[in-house]
Amino acid sequence: SLAKRHKFWETQPVGQFKELGDTSLPEGPIEQPTPVSEVKQEPYNLPAPYEWITCDIDSEEVCSEVYNLLTNNYVEDDENMFRFNYSKEFLRWALRPPGYYRSWHIGVRVKSSKKLVAFITGVPARIRVRDAVVLMAEVNFLCVHKKLRSKRLAPVMIKEVTRRVHLENIWQAAYTAGVVLPTPITTCQYWHRSLNPKKLIDVGFSRLGARMTMSRTIKLYKLPDQTATPGFRKMEPHDVPAVTRLLRNYLKQFVVAPDFDEDDVEHWLLPKEDVVDSYLVESPETHEITDFCSFYTLPSSILGSQNHSVLKAAYSYYNVSTKTPLLQLMNDALIVAKKKDFDVFNALDVMHNETFLKELKFGPGDGKLHYYLYNYRLKHVLRSSELGLVLL
């Protein structure tokens, strides 16, 4: 990536590879805001056959079009065996947090057929970087139809979402990608914990270990039927204030983390069936909320298997341990995920996750997830354990 030219990214206010190691550059915004009145008022030009469309994700029809575009054209693993299959309910959850802007749900249609062929989104988020809480856009779901790749459409999508974010007087963004771009603030490894090893081996997600039989493998990953922690229960609406206090206090230790308030916690962390699950530990003696764990539901389509079409995956989200050892808390998360029929439990090596990954029998994934800030420079690349932010 050091030799590669980035004709678009070299024009953007992001850390540039040639600046790497130059600690004389100040930490913080790279470009200063301009008056909103000076922001380009009209959308960027698209190639002739295409037009912009603001996607109303509340509309069943539009949400289905977005779902179908992503289902057939979104992120695949490096071996093109799996493709993320975000559900419609998940998309509505991910795209309508407190304070969201419908204008940041941006589509490109073919003028004649009205077919949706590209998509990009932003949602507002308060992100703390060291001691500064910065209003940012979290940019996600960038997708160009497979038939329209390598036509430089992505830079136009990115410039358009940037323009619409600027119109709301927001000048920074956060995003992640499996590809290396100028310039990651950190790079995370992802890990997988088998819950249904037979299916994972069947579909080629995992391979039978050397000197391992299938029955020995099933036994290796077997989990208890019941959780171990006294007071471990599903989060409920009345828990929002306590979970907010617990999470805000815990996230203080990380260099980059969301600045969640109660409205954010209510949206992002209250259980939502087939979207997000969250559990907490309420001390049986004191009724204090001492620990929290959560995971979101993101299936992947299995692209080349006869027997199975969907891989049911749970992704570790935000976890807080103050009394229950994180190892025990996460083992309880695995137990409830298994009971909910997930095939695999995924986690990044962010926050304190690396303290439980190996011991709970997670295996390393075959790729990395790079984190980026737009128009905000950090003096040093972070360790993934300094990161307290999980993007969907």
Ligand X SMILES: CCCCCCCCCCCCCC(=O)CSCCNC(=O)CCNC(=O)[C@H](O)C(C)(C)COP(=O)(O)OP(=O)(O)OC[C@H]1O[C@@H](n2cnc3c(N)ncnc32)[C@H](O)[C@@H]1OP(=O)(O)O
Ligand Y SMILES: CN(C)Cc1n[nH]c2ccc(-c3ccc(F)cc3OCCn3ccnc3)cc12
Binding site for ligand X (CB under 6 A): 6-9, 73-75, 137, 139-144, 149-155, 158, 161-162, 165, 171-173, 175-177, 179, 181, 374-375
Task: Pick the catalytic residue from 326, 360, 369, 392.
Answer: 392
Residue 324 binding ligand Y, by CB under 6 A: no
User: Applying CB under 6 A, which part among 42-50, 175-183, 240-248, 273-281 lies near ligand Y?
Assistant: 175-183
> Contacts with ligand Y: how many residues (CB under 6 A)?
18
Contacts from 362-366 at CB under 8 Å and sequence distance 24+? 362/191, 362/192, 362/193, 363/191, 363/192, 363/193, 363/194, 363/206, 364/189, 364/190, 364/191, 364/192, 365/189, 365/190, 365/191, 365/192, 366/77, 366/78, 366/79
Q: How far is the CB of 372 from ligand X (least distance, A)?
A: 7
Q: How far is the CB of 391 from ligand X (least distance, A)?
A: 8
Site string for ligand Y, 83-102 (x = CB under 6 A): -x------------------
**Cα–Cα distance, 163 to 10 (Å, whole number):** 18
Residue 153 annotated as catalytic: no
Q: Among residue numbers 64 through 83, which ones bind ligand Y (CB under 6 A)?
A: 75-77, 82
* Cβ–Cβ < 8 Å for 300, 313: yes
Residue 348 binding ligand Y, by CB under 6 A: yes
SS (H, E, C) 154-191: HHHHHHHHHHHHHCCCCCEEEEEECCCCCCCCEEEEEE
Residue 180 binding ligand Y, by CB under 6 A: no
Q: How far is the CB of 141 from ligand Y (least distance, A)?
A: 8
**Cα–Cα distance, 153 to 151 (Å, whole number):** 5
**Cα–Cα distance, 353 to 350 (Å, whole number):** 6
Tokens of 167: 């119109």
The total number of residues written for the chain in this structure: 392
Cβ proximity to ligand X, 289 vs 373, nearer residue? 373
Q: How far is the CB of 78 from ligand Y (least distance, A)?
A: 7
Question: Where do contacts with ligand Y occur on this chain (CB under 6 A)?
Answer: 75-77, 82, 84, 140, 176-178, 190, 300, 346, 348, 365, 367, 369, 391-392
What are the catalytic residues? 392
